[in-house]
Amino acid sequence: MVPPFRIAGLLAALVGPLALASCSSSGPSAAQILANTKTAVTNASAVHYVDVTTVSGTTNSESVTGSLSATQALATLVVNKSPTLQVVLAGTTLYLQTTSTAVLEKNLGLSATQATAAVNTWISIVPADAAYNTVLSSISIASEVSGFYPDPSKATIGTTRTVHGISVTPITSVSTSSGTTKETTLFVDPKTSLPVGGTIVGTKGKVKEQKVGAFTHWNKPFSVTPPTPSTTLSSLLAS
């Protein structure tokens, strides 16, 4: 439900050239490390994250910040420094607020007239609503991390480095398609198999799009407060 252009900035420490090296025969392969990471992420109960996207030669930027768990979540999308979308999960009820009529029409099924009236309104969404699973899946831990997974078939292990005070193993894959080179790196804590951060750099000619993410507070509980007032999605659809 969040637009495909999603990336944000206090994470410059994650960015930089990586010295790639073959993994030691005595240690796990890059594919094995990624498999272990996916299992650890699947089993994780909570995470706080920030991811930022920028495009060279422009002022375009996007940032997504939030905290996620199975029963509570808070995520905020900021586009070009303007808050655009917020999603809250409190128990089994979702709450969504956005400045975009397109988000309301495409993801919640509102008509153009209904969407215009619902802009900047907190909308509550329950499991009985058709849009519920679409919105819920967009704020899962797995969906937030998934974009940073390198291709296991092309992944290599980089030199150990320190990110946010944690010694991590960089796993990187590079691919080229239609003149665009994409380099994806995930920084994995070998003690927990959980990611600490990641980068995606796409380059085509002189244009570079860069996405940087940080993942912290793994498995640490947090709480959210349901926003008020709110309007039910069902009432909007019936209006």
User: Mind listing the pLDDT tens digit for each residue in 73-104?
Assistant: 999 999 999 999 999 999 999 999 999 999 99
What's the confidence (pLDDT) of residue 89? 98
- Alpha-carbon 223 to chain mean position: 20
Residue 30 identity (one-letter amino acid): A
Q: What is the DSSP-derived secondary structure letter of residue 8?
A: B
> What value does the mean pLDDT of the chain take?
89
What's the confidence (pLDDT) of residue 22? 38
ω into 226 cis (within 30 of 0): no
Q: SS3 for 32?
A: helix
Residue 112 has pLDDT above 60, yes or no: yes
Dump pLDDT digits (tens) for 119-128: 999 999 999 9
What's the confidence (pLDDT) of residue 43? 97
What's the confidence (pLDDT) of residue 7? 31
Annotation: CATH topology of 12-238:
outer membrane lipoprotein receptor (LolB), chain A (2.50.20)
Contact residues for 27 (Cβ-Cβ < 8 A; gap 6+): none
- Residues 55 and 207: beta-carbon distance below 8 Å: yes
- Residue 180's pLDDT band, with cuts at 50, 70 and 90, is very high
Q: How many residues does the chain have?
A: 239
Mean pLDDT value across residues 20-41: 80
Dump pLDDT digits (tens) for 119-170: 999 999 999 999 999 999 999 999 999 999 999 999 999 999 999 899 999 9
What's the confidence (pLDDT) of residue 26? 67
